[in-house]
Structure 1
Amino acid sequence: MNEDSPPRQNYEDALLGIVGEMSTTMRPHAEAGAATAPSLDSALEAELGFDSLTRAELLTRIEQRFGVSLPEQVLAQADTPRALLRAVLAARDLPPGSEETPARLARPAPETSAQAPDGAAALTDVLRWHLHRHPDRTHVILHDGEGDDTPITFAQLHRHACAVAAGLAARGVRAGATVALMLPTSAEYFYCFAGILLAGAIPVPLYPPTRLAQIGDHLQRHAGILANAQAPVLITVAEARPLAALLKAATGTLQSVLTPQELEDTAGPPVQAMLRAHDIALLQYTSGSTGSPKGVVLTHANLLANLRAMGTALSVDSRDVFVSWLPLYHDMGLIGAWLGSLYYAFPLVVMSPLTFLARPERWLWAIHQYRGTLSGGPNFAYELCLHRLAQADLSGLDLSSWRFAFNGAEPVSLQTMRRFTARFAGHGLRAQAAAPVYGLAEASVGLTFPPPGRELAADRIDRAALARTSRAVPADANARGADGDHDVMEIPSCGRPLPGHEIRVVDASGRELPDRHEGLLQFRGPSATSGYFRNPAQTRELFDRGWLNTGDYAYLADGELFITGRAKETIVRGGRNLYPYEVEQAIGALPGIRKGCVAVFGSADPDSGTEHIVVMAETAATDEPVRRALQQQVLKTALDVLGMPPDHVVLVPPHTILKTSSGKIRRAACRERFEHGGSGPGEAAPWLQIARFGWQALLPQLRRGRHAAAGLSYSMYAWLLFAAMAPVTCLASVAVHRPAMGWALSHHAARLLLRLAAVPWFVQGLEQLPRHRACVLVSNHASYLDGMVLVAALPMPVCVVAKRELQGQRIPRAYLSSIGADFIDRFDNVRESEAIERLVAAVRDGRSALLFPEGTFGREPGLQRFRSGAFVAAARAGAPVVPVALRGTRSVLRDGQWLPRRGPISVVIGRPLQPDGQGWPAAMRLRNAARAEILHYCGEPDALRPGIEAARSRTARQLP
């Protein structure tokens, strides 16, 4: 510390003064005096109730008071005033001049123009296209607001991505596998995402934990995502390994937790997977504001179609500059910002979301510095700038380059956008820049945009008419808007559909509605997902005869879209549709209620057949008179907006209202908490949440362990039975050396073994076996168990035809010979012909034969091609062919496994097939008929079907 700096005690007192002042401000006046003064070790969140936004305000005040600039990591990591004090003292030791403001930073030289790769079929094609034409062009600029920005060129991105792809391939990740990505905004995020694509795998972005107080909910949601995605690999920072270990235990599918450095440091050959347009490019898990997260399947074709449509709608080219603080795990930040910049080659200036939350002015200064043309975010981002930025923070700010300021991902407030454009008009921001947009992950990201350069457009409608008749009736021109008369609603226009996309509004029966009739919004187009990953039930709900359900209520007017609310969150009361958002906004503005922490939802009332209206609002007030007064204010405000009082007003402690990763209110989860009586207490301590999650993660492990132990015990028991009975049976058969008696011994021993092993098995069609005539029995081959099962099923002795390889093994040769087996060489034509001759002779002599015409078996299910030897022998001997279908043996003991599992086995004996000649055509007809019969009963697919279809396709292409 500098020698002329004040004593440490002065810093402590000043810092605690700021914390105490903010803590007092958060509490009602009646209890402010009784509040305990904070200490250096008071927990900011658990004891003082400072959430992330409050901590951001705290950092701003500390920086202003001490004249320092604190790293944005302090916002997430500092959990006590002592940690903040350390950060302040460390910042005071920085050399002079390190606090240079963004306004004085030099602006970069503009890049030359570049074309977009219109012919690209996959995102990897886009990267290679730009790499070959301008490898040194700046693609991404990592902006920290401190003057130490880091550019990333296309060549850098490709080089690091190739190293990541090689590292993944070296660890067994193959094309089509999913790879989870849980990294903060950083160069490594871009490298790893692109590397996953180059490896042919599918990225699954996850948001990294930020709030320790909700770590339990965070782990629970990520465990569900990882289990659904079945990702074997998670890429994350080293600090997240302890949490990742819990996720590994909870999912059962996660195998490796790796850091980007570990992947890049792996030596391996280069990997360049060839991707097609309809391969899956991304699993974008929805935020879950109305339910559990679902993995939206987005192909390369979906993403490229959406990027091209958005680019056409906004007239985008490489001269644009996108400035973004949006999280890269969210579709707006990932697809709209980064992949858009990747496609059109305009620079992306990206900063951490924590940087924006801590110092929102850096977003605007980045637009100023880099002459940003495209930028935006959810409504709260504009509110944050309005409330947090002092005029002194904006001196010299120039926003005249900003041509499209989009507002989306949550309900758009016209008042917020109007106040924002009015305030920043003096800094060059044009009113025409403000643009409410609409999109959803199921449409890749964007669906409707207003035309660039148009001022805010809104529809003023009669609130009562919309609630009672679901019609958007224009309000009286003299009526006041949302700031005045509550009978008038102003709804912003979200514009028209992107090129190539369509939208419509339907009623509950699916009938399309005319203009100004509210209903369910549906869409279709090339950006539309094919469904949810491994979730057929939700996928069925998504589609309606070629259209996709958005889950939103809306109406159309003059071809433009007006969103009225979420279908699952609309409250139905007395035949009226009531919308939560306006009520939440109004109640959140009340003194004593935490803004943005209000949930309004409906709870089913079985007595009335309608829904109760519930208002759940966060407050730090604990004094009972103050809480009663707040309840009355909430009640009156809700009555003014809705025209009817809510049934329940529940005041809850801070951090009780559940939110998604992008800050949306999770009303369905709040309703579930209310209905189960969980609205009172706030979040449990982080250690307790982790312990709970660890126990929940341990339970499936214990269940899996129990099942594994039971399976292993059964396998050992089965092998012990086999070890006890097989040698005795083998020795007895060899000793008597009479095939009929050896078969009889083996038959009874096999049946006893199956019975003692508790294998559920049955034989059907024994009456089909010829009693007084030799035949050729043919069976599918799926497992090492097939021979034993057939010996147990067939009461009469037959000549088993085995592969010649077994003749070279002493014990199998001795046993098989004792029951009259013959051996056939499948790979020597001369020897195979000799074996067929022996088989013909045996059948003519009255001995039935048993063969596996597939010759061998493998791990994968499917009936393979039949060899012709058995059928040639049957045709030449004039003997019938009896098809025998085995089902279940592959599941009990699959190739490559030595631990049998208990499962049902069936043997179906088909009707005898008589040869209609002695030549080759007759043998082929027998083969085809027998194979069709076995295919019908074996329960496995036809392994030849893909080859047949390919042959047909080749033949069709050869026709003139």
Structure 2
Amino acid sequence: MADSAPQAGDPGERLLALIGQFAAEVHPRHVTPVTLTSSFERELGFDSLARVELLQRVSAAFHIELPASALSATDNAAQLLRLLDQAGGAGAPPATVIDLHQGSAAGLPDQAATLLDVLAWHVAHQPERTHIVLHDDRHDEHRLRYRDLLEAAREIATGLVERGLLPRQSVALMLPTGADYLASFFGVMLAGGIPVPIYPPARQAQLEDHLARHARILANAQATFIVTVAPAKALARILQASVPGLRAILLPAELRRPATPLPFRAAASDIAFLQYTSGSTGDPKGVMLTHANLLANIRALGQACGVTAGDVFVSWLPLYHDMGLIGAWFGSLYHGIPLVLMSPQAFLARPALWLQLISRHRGTISAAPNFAYALCLRHVGADTMRGLDLSSWRLALNGAEPVSVDTVTGFTRQFGACGLSPQAMTPVYGLAESSVGLAFPPLMRGPRLEVVARAGFVEAGRCLPAGPGQDDTLTLVSCGLPLPGHQLRIADELGRELPDRQVGRVEFRGPSATAGYYRNPQATARLCHGGWLDTGDFGCTMEGELFITGRSKDLIKRGGRNIYPYDLEQAIGEVPGIRRGCVAVFASADPASGSERLIIMAETGSQDPAARAALRTQLQQLALDVIGVPPDEIILASPHAVLKTSSGKIRRLACRQWYEAGQGAAFHAHPMARLRLAAARARVTLALRVAGAWAFGAYAWAVLAALATPAGLLIALLQRPALGRRIAHLAARCLLRLTATSIAVDGLERLPRQPHVLLVNHASYLDTFVLTALLPDRPGYVFAAKQELRRHALVRAVLTGLGAIFVERADVRRSADDVAAMAAVLARGDNLLVFPEGTFERAAGLRAFHLGGFMAAARAASPLVVAGLRGTRAALRDGSWLPRRAELALTVGAVFQPAGTAWRDAARISAPVRAAMLALCGEYDAQGHP
């Protein structure tokens, strides 16, 4: 399409025909006549992404490059026609290439504690080196060195201090991509303030409404100043009325002053900036990110990406969102690699320019949401592709919105002809609450796609592999493993961690995690619980890798913009003819574009066609006024059609599911009584499930206390290990029987009759109870317990009453006494039970082995027996004290004979032992993981 030939005829007629055809595609059910003055937004219902698509088609049809401003400067065909008259032929980046790597790099600011330290380090070590190449709308490029950025930032900081900015006061930045934004951001930090990036207006005609929507953010942030573009200054009085603490709206030029010494020195624990997750909700959430958070994330991302001094980052991502601000800019700054930066508007006006800059500057890393890759697929034609060389592009990061399998495979296939490596496409996962990045796949592996059975996914939330030839399937895309030093888990509604392939809420923790939302304790309480942060997304893990399956939040993302439905629902409820409190606004996936469609479902009792048509027009206009984008579809539903909870809250997810199942027809036809009944049943089922889980947990603990107290005291008093092991065996078996815990046992007959070392994986506190109940008690097994347990008198007495030996788990191979003690157990005819991992952790995976048990077996010439425990981690996870029912299994596997008594012999045999244990325990190999 991008290289189609222009048609003959009058340009105005051709343009109207093209727009009319496009309007019919966008809203096939509501065809509106197109005239030269028909508003793209208010009358034709084109949102920002639709206007991008339209401009691409116009450029292709007329063989003209429209300016980047066309997206914001045109709202009807007449305005677009004037731009066509003024525009020239399709342009291209200049031929001269700026040298991005002058001399050798100085290294990395490893000791930097703040972003300001990072910039100061580069200025001290390589001030003349290119930091950023700014590509403007005229295809001119401007070099910005580290020294240039620091000097400009000091001038801005001096101006802010002179105007009275105090440390830790916030300053809002609403500026387009450019040198002023870069200098202002660091200028605020140098002055001691907290930058608050917010997105600039898409169209000047909507500037007042745009700023009014930001008033709540500015009030929550207690912004002292807002630094923005000239047209916004006239609206200072409006914002100051809503935000009493806002002193002035300023231009960067008004702030520049000759730099003076700045006394403020930021600490690692200081808030570096606030990242607001929405501008259209009554409950604004400003993610607090400290310098320590940001640097931890940037360093982890650099490790995951394998960043070197030879890399070049090319980006069009907006600098008011975390992916462009932290991932592209701050990441390039820290690692000392050049950043080629263009504006989002320039990309939207001409997607091919992004790829041309990667080709021109030999870009190695670039990132974008899925819609950007889809846009290139549709609008980069054969003529442009012939001039592209994408062989340098090693990381095409795809994140910030749901990843489309079709887009991933289509982009890789189409641009493989331009040298793009099949392994370059890299789906990733992150969120502002984790600074920016959270999960990253193995380097240069390419996308991992998992085809799962739809039935198990829908009915039980299980992502089971689809069988051969199975048709009803879903394809999920892996986002990889947690970044180094970070953890994630999948949890159910009780906060209990779920096993692999089970869908639940994605939660995380790590050094990049925010402490919460600025001046919003209620939202922070919903975010943080038990040391974990809720991402608001559903997902599952497979072999430790994260697969996102859907959003649990009501957040709607459109073209990189976040929309919350509440304000729009409230406003629509006030419209005469609409039933108040009976409105649902939700997103529905559009497989064709890989993005989301915005759907409004509103109840009305009116059946008059003219009145319903008027309501549609009014609701479309209202959506533009409240959230700044038009809806894709408006459903005027019968009374009682919008689903609610028992407390009266709108069930948006259920409404979306019914819409997607019947394409909205069911909403028009009846109130969906059957769905209400199904919803009621689901609520009752969930309530019973929750109550049952708590009841079982309380009962299990009560039984344990009733059995363990007398048994433990008796064992501690008798101090007769053989009898103590018999008592423990009987008590553990009673515990399993009274709690109706069944365990699948296989291979006990393979246990040797001679003394041996039994090696078992360690996943839970339940392991010792399960093994004590299942293993023979005569002659019994002596546990090798960690040395720390000796500190507790009662625990020590019970363990010595069982004959346990205490070992130093930190470095057992250097403890000859521990090895000798274990060998003595075997020599006297007892068996030895060893957890070679030494301890267990919350996260799944078989971890590195300690070799003490191996050395003891070699010294006593005793066999090594491998066994695997399954299910205990799910039954009682580390950090949780609520046991749950789970499928448990113990399998006894192969028997190994030690080959020698040296440490290297023990290390050599540990490899096949580990492989055997991995096959039995059902967990992935986490050896070497942090």
Aligned match of 1:19 in 16, 21, 35?
16
SS at match of 2:303: helix
Deviation of 1:592 (Å) = 14
Aligned match of 1:585 in 578, 591, 599?
591
Deviation of 1:83 (Å) = 3.3
Aligned match of 1:368 in 352, 356, 359?
359
Deviation of 1:198 (Å) = 0.8
> How many percent identity over aligned positions?
47
Contact 2:45-2:632 within 8 A present in 1 as well? no
SS at match of 1:648: helix
For 2:644, the equivalent position in structure 1 comes to: 604
Which residue identity lines up with residue 502 of structure 2 in the other structure? Answer: H
Aligned match of 2:501 in 516, 531, 542?
516
For 1:536, the equivalent position in structure 2 comes to: 521
Deviation of 1:221 (Å) = 3.4
Give the 5 Å matches for 1:472-491. 472-479=463-470, 485=471, 487-491=472-476
Q: For 2:38 and 2:475, how far apart are their aligned partners in 1? A: 45
For 2:619, the equivalent position in structure 1 comes to: none
Structure 1 residues 475, 403: closer, same or farther in 2, change over 3 A? same
Q: For 1:314 and 1:599, how far apart are their aligned partners in 2? A: 43
Deviation of 1:566 (Å) = 1.7
Deviation of 1:228 (Å) = 0.3
Q: For 1:241 and 1:332, how far apart are their aligned partners in 2? A: 29
Give the 5 Å matches for 1:792-803. none
Q: For 1:91 and 1:428, how far apart are their aligned partners in 2? A: 32
For 1:638, the equivalent position in structure 2 comes to: 661
Deviation of 1:504 (Å) = 1.2
For 1:546, the equivalent position in structure 2 comes to: 531
SS at match of 1:19: helix
Q: CA deviation digits over 1:848-883, x for unaligned, max 9?
A: xxxxxxxxxxxxxxxxxxxxxxxxxxxxxxxxxxxx
Which residue identity lines up with residue 299 of structure 2 in the other structure? Answer: R
For 2:167, the equivalent position in structure 1 comes to: 175
Aligned match of 2:484 in 499, 519, 526?
499
Q: CA deviation digits over 1:544-583, x for unaligned, max 9?
A: 1211111111111111111111223599xxxxxxx98775
Matched, 1:561 2:513: no
Structure 1 residues 54, 490: closer, same or farther in 2, change over 3 A? closer
Structure 1 residues 76, 145: closer, same or farther in 2, change over 3 A? closer
SS at match of 1:320: coil
Matched, 1:416 2:407: yes
Structure 1 residues 548, 598: closer, same or farther in 2, change over 3 A? farther
For 1:394, the equivalent position in structure 2 comes to: 385
Q: CA deviation digits over 1:640-695, x for unaligned, max 9?
A: 9xxxx885269xxxxxxxxxxxxxxxxxxxxxxxxxxxxxxxxxxxxxxxxxxxxx
Matched, 1:79 2:75: yes
For 1:320, the equivalent position in structure 2 comes to: 311
Give the 5 Å matches for 1:192-271. 192-211=184-203, 218-264=210-256, 266-267=257-258, 269-271=260-262
Which residue identity lines up with residue 661 of structure 2 in the other structure? Answer: A
SS at match of 2:311: coil
Aligned match of 1:345 in 330, 336, 339?
336
Give the 5 Å matches for 1:572-721. 584-585=590-591, 597=632, 603-604=643-644, 606=646, 611=651, 638-639=661-662, 647-648=666-667
Structure 1 residues 457, 61: closer, same or farther in 2, change over 3 A? closer
For 2:154, the equivalent position in structure 1 comes to: 162
Q: CA deviation digits over 1:242-297, x for unaligned, max 9?
A: 34442222122211110000001x35633252111101101011137998430000
Q: For 1:354 and 1:582, how far apart are their aligned partners in 2? A: 25
Deviation of 1:462 (Å) = 1.8
Contact 2:271-2:288 within 8 A present in 1 as well? yes
Unaligned runs of 5+ in 1: 1-9, 93-97, 480-484, 572-578, 618-633, 651-960
Q: For 1:388 and 1:595, how far apart are their aligned partners in 2? A: 23
Q: CA deviation digits over 1:142-196, x for unaligned, max 9?
A: 1136441111111110111000000000000011111110001111000000111
RMSD: 3.7
Q: CA deviation digits over 1:199-241, x for unaligned, max 9?
A: 1111000101104686676334311110000011000011122
Q: For 1:570 and 1:166, how far apart are their aligned partners in 2? A: 39
Contact 1:142-1:149 within 8 A present in 2 as well? yes
For 1:439, the equivalent position in structure 2 comes to: 430
Structure 1 residues 157, 598: closer, same or farther in 2, change over 3 A? farther
SS at match of 2:227: strand
Contact 1:165-1:270 within 8 A present in 2 as well? no
SS at match of 1:550: strand
For 2:182, the equivalent position in structure 1 comes to: 190
Structure 1 residues 168, 36: closer, same or farther in 2, change over 3 A? same
SS at match of 1:175: coil
For 1:837, the equivalent position in structure 2 comes to: none
Deviation of 1:114 (Å) = 3.3
Deviation of 1:451 (Å) = 1.1
SS at match of 2:536: strand
Contact 1:177-1:231 within 8 A present in 2 as well? yes
Q: For 1:596 and 1:68, how far apart are their aligned partners in 2? A: 30
Contact 2:371-2:595 within 8 A present in 1 as well? no
Contact 1:407-1:434 within 8 A present in 2 as well? yes
Unaligned runs of 5+ in 2: 1-6, 557-584, 600-628, 636-640, 670-930
SS at match of 1:432: coil
Which residue identity lines up with residue 174 of structure 1 in the other structure? Answer: L
Contact 1:99-1:146 within 8 A present in 2 as well? no
For 1:809, the equivalent position in structure 2 comes to: none
Q: For 2:31 and 2:330, how far apart are their aligned partners in 1? A: 53
Structure 1 residues 542, 240: closer, same or farther in 2, change over 3 A? same
Contact 2:100-2:130 within 8 A present in 1 as well? no
Which residue identity lines up with residue 558 of structure 1 in the other structure? Answer: E
Contact 2:370-2:401 within 8 A present in 1 as well? yes
Structure 1 residues 390, 282: closer, same or farther in 2, change over 3 A? same
Which residue identity lines up with residue 443 of structure 1 in the other structure? Answer: S
For 1:700, the equivalent position in structure 2 comes to: none
Structure 1 residues 326, 29: closer, same or farther in 2, change over 3 A? closer
Contact 1:238-1:259 within 8 A present in 2 as well? yes
Task: Select the structure of larger CA radius of gyration.
Answer: 1
Q: For 2:53 and 2:358, how far apart are their aligned partners in 1? A: 22
Contact 1:324-1:348 within 8 A present in 2 as well? yes
Give the 5 Å matches for 1:715-730. none
Contact 1:552-1:565 within 8 A present in 2 as well? yes
